[in-house]
A and B are shown apart, each in its own frame.
With several copies, the nearest count.
Chain A
Amino acid sequence: MKLVVAYIRPDRLTAVKKALFERQIYKISVTNAIGCGQQRGYHEHYRGSDLEVDLLKKVRIEIGVNDAFLDATIGALIEGGQTGEVGDGIIFVQDLIDCLNIRTGERGPAAIG
């Protein structure tokens, strides 16, 4: 089992969700984030002074998948999230040594099946 974490542009979330659903990956979790990478920030102006904002709004997606679904998940994230402009984001893949469905108590691959 793998835990896939991706940072994407907020406005690509709908497309990513669609791409995931098309590949039968329905279970995902999403959080709000800000980040900086190669993308340059922008300036805010307030009362005569400038403020450089270098942490831009991103969305963090976390998906626990069985190994068989890993490629599909990554594919969906890229399909939905790619615009080709700086700032598209990153995907991290980690090992998941165990997982548990809180309602049913199922353990392991079945819990995220």
Chain B
Amino acid sequence: MLLGECQFLALSLSMWVEPTPAPMPNLEILTVNNTWMLVATFLVFIMHLGFACLEAGLTRAKNTVNILFKNTGIIAIGLLTFALCGFNMMYPGEAWRISGVLGFSGMGIGLPLNYDQIAYANGAYTYWTDFLFQAMFAATAATIVSGAVAERVKLGSFLLFSLIYVALVYPITGSWHWGGGWLKAEGFYDFAGSTLVHSVGGWAALVGVWMLGPRMGKYANGKVKPIMGHNMPLATIGAFLLWLGWFGFNGGSVLSADPNAVSFVFVTTTLAAASGIIGAMAVSWIWQRKPDLSMVLNGSLAGLVGITAGADTVSVVAAVAIGFIAGVLVVFSVVFLDFLKMDDPVGAISVHLVCGIWGTLAVGLFSTNPQHTFWTQLLGVAAIGGFCLLTSGTLFFCIKKVLGLRVSESEELEGLDLGEHGMEAYTGFQFFTTQ
């Protein structure tokens, strides 16, 4: 078939993304659905290693222990707080306190009364799978902030911020759409979280970067002085592991192992990542004359974030376009943020916020489902953006006043590894530590 036909055919796919489970789900179908969801869960888990590697690789060796520590801490905090309260706030069921806006069905996790594993989610997954898959998502949102504020944020302050953000803010905005709240009712659509996960992290990253100010020496005499990442193989491992995890992030968001739906989401996700690479490579090679590895890695992630909102509702050709544009966007965004003196060492704002917004809006432009409109998408972006700005701003502000946000100049100079942990990441290796 020709490329033209292909779009036509892909358009006609919108039919099967509607859930078409067997009329009476049985143990067999539950078992396979649930197995897939567990696979998706461990894939999302490995994204945390991806974040740790990417962020560590794109920053300086003297802050590496600190970054690894933050990422290890956050996943523990994210999982435990989600078990304690997050899950029951995000999916309150009937237990809305403010209808469609704020719900909470109690502390802790445990099987609902009259639990029947097949009936629980119509044969799609068990209660425990439901919890864990969502818990892994929650931890992701906080991790996004970590990279943006790296190399200067106080460890304790950051962990406190993450704890509150992941325990309260993420579940609340999540409940608006995935928990069946008011945005859902408005017709807003965000398949796997371009906005609900990535932008939620991205907005906090933006506020954090703005409150902290740039790293020492980044902007001198009105010029941008790049501060090179110290370990490109590590960054590459990080980006590839994130991509790997995205198969679970998007593929699992089908919330069943529905063969056509999951495999179609795999295809759109993969091709968007690939075209994100091409987009970033093209801009970086042509515009900046030198093909920049860190940009190309960001490009793949940009494509992935971009497709996340609409992976199941756009055509293959649209997925390639969304990814490509995200890849282009991310490069310009990185340069633009530097122009604004917003110092984001790993490009977290550009990847997760900018491309998260782009992906969410792209659903309005490209979705094969006529009910998705640009304006509802914009509404969702704005509502969640506003709430995140407000809450993360308040939070960072209070923490700044009480504990302080930024390490001392001398600690920043000698590195947070020695300052916060009294350890080095690469003992024995020799460095030029002039930066």
Contact = CB atoms under 8 A, between A and B. Distances in A.
Interface of A: 10-11, 13-14, 32, 34, 42-51, 57, 59
Interface string B261-299: 000000000000000000000000000111010110000
B422 A44 contact: yes
Nearest to B345: A47
11 contacts: A10-B432, A11-B433, A44-B226, A44-B418, A45-B289, A46-B226, A46-B422, A47-B292, A47-B334, A47-B347, A48-B292
B421 A45 contact: yes
Nearest to B223: A49
B226 A49 contact: yes
Chain A to chain B: the 6 pairs with minimum beta-carbon distance, closest first:
A45-B422, A46-B226, A48-B335, A49-B224, A49-B226, A45-B290
Given A13-B434, A32-B432, A44 B338 contact: no
Nearest to A17: B434
B225 interface: yes
B107 interface: no
A42 B224 CA distance: 17
User: Which secondary structure characterizes the binding site on chain A?
Assistant: strand
A74 B224 CA distance: 31
B422 A43 contact: yes
B64 to A, nearest CB: 14
Contacts of B20: none
Contact of A44 (B228, B413, B432): B228
B119 interface: no
Interface residues on B, range: 20 to 34
B334 A42 contact: no
Given A46-B229, A46-B423, 8 more contacts: A11-B433, A44-B423, A45-B226, A47-B295, A47-B338, A48-B288, A51-B226, A59-B432
Interface of B: 224-226, 228-229, 288-290, 292, 294-295, 331, 334-335, 338, 347, 413, 418, 421-424, 430-435
Contacts of B422: 42-46
Contacts of B228: 44, 46, 51
Nearest to A33: B430
A47 B226 contact: yes
A81 B422 CA distance: 26
A59 B423 contact: no
